[in-house]
Structure 1
């Protein structure tokens, strides 16, 4: 089971004070992201109870870097709106905590991305929508910009699995993200992607075999660390 991430704008209720304390919503109910997923109320309850029972706190990381913790959540609880948290940045010990504090106060850094494992979920075939009913929250990162989900490999793989077509532009974004030059990207798209796309997406097929082949080819890619 691989850890998943979910990125969005952090709804800040109180910007970091001199001691680095701040509050805001780490997740909001019923919001559908580009993965066609949403989090249901109650999804975090069991995980938070287990973490609290062990005397632990959920860490705040900088840009998902496990070697760059910049604080911890002193409290996390669910309410009618979402997952509300009160956090504390380690201003004296972590240099990036001071950058996060300054950026959040200026309104320049407002992104949050949570890391979690899915414990239980349901899928609506009609709406093509997955609802996360129970998740294991591992960490929550302050990020400079919430991830551009439409450019992420996970999103393209999700679209392929659902039988949806993707554009040449989407595919090119992934290649450029992985470090391919513009010339190499154009060559790959022109020779490989266009040939595949010419025979993909037959309306009478729920999932075109070509989509599975492309998804398999993409499975070797990994997302870059932020």
Structure 2
């Protein structure tokens, strides 16, 4: 388990049980935030609390986990997804711990999370002099992705197990 810093955050954000020749796992779990509320992303869009609620309530099948938003590179399945006060919290299982995606994650070459969506309800961002952007109020969610460069900088994996 990772050590805890004085501020309470984990000093080591991943932990795997040691095997004889290194980490051993049949599958790998990750947890983090795929979206953060009320924080502009790289496209200057802002997601408000409740934007995912309709889509999550209507969804019947599991949400896929992709590598870099590529549908042909499905790496796992989202096992828990919910809105909380901070954003869209996800826990997902990666089916192939020997994959390139896991290697990049464990090497800390990537730790971003993102989501594929269609904006159903939005309004223009109030003019703040920062350029275009939208306030996203209703989102159709299609997938979650492990990515190298998330559009929302703070959307990250916080735990790997």
TM-score strictly above 0.5: yes
1:131 aligns with 2:135: yes
Contact 1:14/1:23 (<8 A) preserved = no
Please give the alpha-carbon distance, in whole angstroms, between the structure 1 residues aligned to 2:147 and 2:127. Answer: 34
Q: 1:8-39 CA deviation, whole Å, 9 max, x = no partner?
A: xxxxx964753311111111111112322111
More helix by share: 1
Q: Distance in 2 between matches of 1:69 and 1:43?
A: 25
Runs of 4+ in 1 over 6 A off after TM superposition: none
Give the alignment's TM-score, normalised by structure 2: 0.70
Distance 1:118 1:16 in 2: 36
Distance 1:24 1:146 in 2: 13
* RMSD of aligned alpha carbons: 2.4
Give me the whole-angstrom Cα distance separating, in 2, the residues matched to 1:14 and 1:139.
24
Other-structure match for 2:34? 26
Is the 8 Å Cα contact of residues 15 and 104 (structure 1) preserved in structure 2?
A: no
TM-score, L = length of structure 1:
0.51
- Tell me the distance in 2 between the aligned counterparts of 1:30 and 1:144: 22
More strand by share: 2
Aligned length: 129
Please say if 1:91 is aligned against 2:99. Answer: no
Contact persistence 1:120–1:133 (CA under 8 A): yes
Unaligned runs of 5+ in 2: 1-11, 17-24, 152-161
- Return the match for 1:70 from 75, 80, 101: 75
CA contact (8 A) 1:57 1:73 kept: yes
What runs of 5+ residues in structure 1 fail to find an aligned partner? 1-12, 148-226
Farther off after superposition, 101-110 or 41-50? 101-110
